[in-house]
Amino acid sequence: MAGRIPRQFIDDLLVRVDIVDVVDEYVPLKKGGKDHKACCPFHNEKTPSFTVSADKQFYHCFGCGAHGSAIGFLMDYAHMDFVEAVEDLASRAGLEVPREAGSEQRSESLQPVYDMMAKANAYFQQQLRQHAEAPRAVEYLRSRGLSGEIAAAFGLGFAPPGWDNLLSAIGPSDADRALMSRAGLLVDKDGGGFYDRFRGRITFPILDRRGRTVGFGARVLGDETPKYLNSPETAVYHKGRELYGLYQARKAAGRPERLIIVEGYMDVVALAQHGIRNAVATLGTAATEAHLEQLFRTSQDIVFCFDGDDAGRRAAWRALETTLPAMHDGRQAFFMFLPEGQDPDSMVRARGAAAFESALIAAHSLGTFLFDHLAARVDLDTIDGRSRLTALARPLLAKLPAGSFRELSENRLAELTGLAQKNSSTLITGRGSAAVSRPPGPLSKHKRQPPSLVRKVITWLLHYPSLGREGMATGHLRSLELPGVPLLLELIETLDDSPNLTTGALLERFRDHESGRHLAKLAAEEVAALNQGLEQEFKEALEKLQRLAEDQRFAALARKERQGQLSDGEKREFARLSGGASHQKNEGNAASEPR
């Protein structure tokens, strides 16, 4: 279907559906006061800190900060993309999703490729059941300990030997063949024409997170080389983003407690055969940042599984370096090393699932692996060695995002080196005494500045969008030089265009905005109930901002007047402001930084 989904439809949809009903289908909610509560589905906790507001139509976790509208919940929890989430909500409301004319979506132009990949997948699975040489392929799978049930669950197939079996079956026309080539199913002949890419191999369909076939891995039945052959990069398949088995892992467990990252297709399938259904594999490449974001979006805990030899440990270290920037608070990464000469497939077949699970439990945490690996390279009994450890660890810890995990890692480095924790800035930034933190001033220890006036107005608008329905003049705000004013103007303009937005719909508008997370925190704060007193306070706050704008303008004109640089129009404006502006030097804390 062509065209973008109209913004007005999305706004109306979020008004018509109830986020409480949407979330409750996935996470059982209990009424607690005016909101609904549950243990957060996005991180492990024992005391519920996840709230869903029927009034505001958005969810927020006070533990991990997860937040969003009904659309955001379906995207983050059910792993839908934006269009899928909108279509899901529309079906609940009995609505058909409209599209704007004149804007082709990328998915529309790629649909024929997805369709062709689905045809190829169906053909390979059919050949595993019907081809004359299929018994050889079935026997190979049985020799690897795989059942028909697991083969079916992962859609395993058989690409028969021969140069044009697939080509003849699903590529009768030139257009079909061109599409097959675009999908990576064919190889161009030097003299023109095509031949099948996959021949005489077991096929492993690679599914994206929507369950669509985007590529194939294929393994020979004997000792031929290459042992594995993968789809090339195409418009729908990017090996740096896709993970084999992730779709099946989510389907089996919804939101797995942890995900195991292994090396090959057979490792994933063999583990599933033994009841371990939460393994995924990278596709002939090391784990990328895009892989890690997908993994952590599915589970807060990931376990890298490597061979225990030197090559496996070098690969593990590269994975650690890639993982560091993704280690936001609440996430955990572990490193599991198998006995030398074994892989997950051979280990689980030889020793069973219990032995593999035991090795999984014994996996090293990222922090442990990091410091053990570095400490093995230095002599901690000498000053020189501890200094070397600091130099080795400094650039690695600097990759960690700010938060408790980084702070605890800095503490551990301080313990190992013997440096006082007050010098943690030296450890990480490499600066000397100039970087050492200074003691707080006499007023900063216990006092916290109250929120700025701009922040108060933003918070009220988020909680009660109806405050903006009467229309607010913004001319004076555009010249006001205070932190947060540009964001306030965006909110006012959004509500002026769409005055009936709920809090959830308003936050949905700002989901990808640089201040989106900050707005969600403000929307989760407790504020007074909407009544005439609050409405009056809101009105007075806007008037105060207008006076501040006039005062700033008056001060600017006064500077020009002293320099004799006023135009005739500015002279008239200066005279008007001289008689009507308050010219207060301090309007409370209105000019303070928004917090």
Q: Using a pLDDT cut of 70, give the percent of the chain over it.
A: 88
CATH number at residue 576: 1.10.860.10
Token pair belonging to 283: 């596709």
Is 384 contained in some domain?
yes
**pLDDT at site 104:** 44
Q: Each residue of 414-436: pLDDT tens digit?
A: 999 998 655 555 555 554 433 43
Cα–Cα distance for residue pair 543/255, rounded to 1 Å:
49
Is 2 contained in some domain?
no
**pLDDT at site 505:** 87
Cα–Cα distance for residue pair 275/263, rounded to 1 Å:
18
- Looking at 187, 203, 230, which one is the last position of a domain? 230
Beta bridge partners of 281: 244, 262
- Looking at 31, 61, 92, which one is the last position of a domain? 92
**pLDDT at site 579:** 67
- With a cut of 50, say whether residue 445 has pLDDT above it: no
Residues 507 and 523 in one domain: yes
Residues 563 and 458 in one domain: yes
Residues 575 and 458 in one domain: yes
For 68-102, letters b (16+ CB in 10 Å) and e give bbbbbbbbbbbbbeeebbbbbbbebeebebebeee
Average pLDDT over the chain, rounded to an integer: 85
* Amino acid at the residue 14: L
- The pLDDT-based confidence of 561 (bands split at 50, 70, 90) is confident
Is 99 contained in some domain?
no
Residues 480 and 522 in one domain: yes
Token pair belonging to 578: 């001289």
Is 595 contained in some domain?
no
- With a cut of 60, say whether residue 373 has pLDDT above it: yes
Residues 37 and 124 in one domain: no
Chain position carrying tokens 């032995």 = 355
Is 194 contained in some domain?
yes
Is 237 contained in some domain?
no
Q: Each residue of 299-337: pLDDT tens digit?
A: 889 999 998 888 999 999 999 999 999 998 889 999 999
Token pair belonging to 506: 């308003």
Token pair belonging to 479: 């010249």
Element (H, E) at 38: strand 35-38
Tell me which range, 50-59, 115-124, 502-511, 535-544, is most confidently predicted by mean pLDDT.
Answer: 115-124
CATH number at residue 15: 3.90.580.10
- Looking at 163, 198, 230, which one is the last position of a domain? 230
DSSP string, 109-162: HHHHHHHHHHHHHHHHHHHHHHSTTHHHHHHHHHHTT--HHHHHHTT-EEE-SS
CATH number at residue 201: 3.90.980.10
**pLDDT at site 126:** 98
Residues 476 and 516 in one domain: yes
Q: Each residue of 211-232: pLDDT tens digit?
A: 899 999 999 998 888 999 999 9
- With a cut of 80, say whether residue 288 has pLDDT above it: yes
What's the length of the chain?
Answer: 595
- Region 161-172 average pLDDT: 96
Per the structure, the count of domains in the chain is: 5
Q: Which domain holds residue 427?
A: 377-432
Distances (CA, A) of 381 to 371, 376, 393, 413, 490: 15, 12, 17, 15, 59
**pLDDT at site 160:** 97
Is 54 contained in some domain?
yes
Range name among 342-351, 404-413, 502-511 with the lowest pLDDT average: 502-511
Three-point CA angle 157, 159, 164, nearest 5°: 145
Residues 121 and 207 in one domain: yes
Is 293 contained in some domain?
yes
Best CA proximity match to 272, nearest among 303, 249, 302, 250: 249
Q: Using a pLDDT cut of 90, give the percent of the chain over it.
A: 47
Range name among 253-262, 353-362, 525-534 with the lowest pLDDT average: 525-534
**pLDDT at site 451:** 63
Cα–Cα distance for residue pair 13/443, rounded to 1 Å:
49
Sign of the torsion angle spanned by Cα atoms 590, 591, 592, 593: positive
Q: Each residue of 238-251: pLDDT tens digit?
A: 999 899 999 999 88
pTM, entire model: 0.63
Residues 381 and 366 in one domain: no
- With a cut of 80, say whether residue 144 has pLDDT above it: yes
Residues 330 and 418 in one domain: no
- Residues sharing a CB contact under 8 Å with residue 158, sequence separation 6 or more, in sequence order: 124, 127, 128, 131, 133, 134, 137, 201, 202, 203
Q: Each residue of 41-92: pLDDT tens digit?
A: 888 788 899 999 988 898 999 888 888 999 999 888 877 778 888 988 887 8
Residues 363 and 389 in one domain: no
Q: Is the backbone of residue 275 left (phi > 0), alpha (psi -120 to 50) or beta?
A: left
Residues 13 and 124 in one domain: no
For 417-435, letters b (16+ CB in 10 Å) and e give bebeeebbbbbbeeeeeee
Residues 292 and 179 in one domain: no
CATH number at residue 418: 1.20.50
- Residues sharing a CB contact under 8 Å with residue 138, sequence separation 6 or more, in sequence order: 128
Q: Each residue of 91-110: pLDDT tens digit?
A: 788 788 888 765 444 434 58
Sign of the torsion angle spanned by Cα atoms 52, 58, 59, 65: negative
* Distance of alpha carbon 113 from the chain centroid: 26
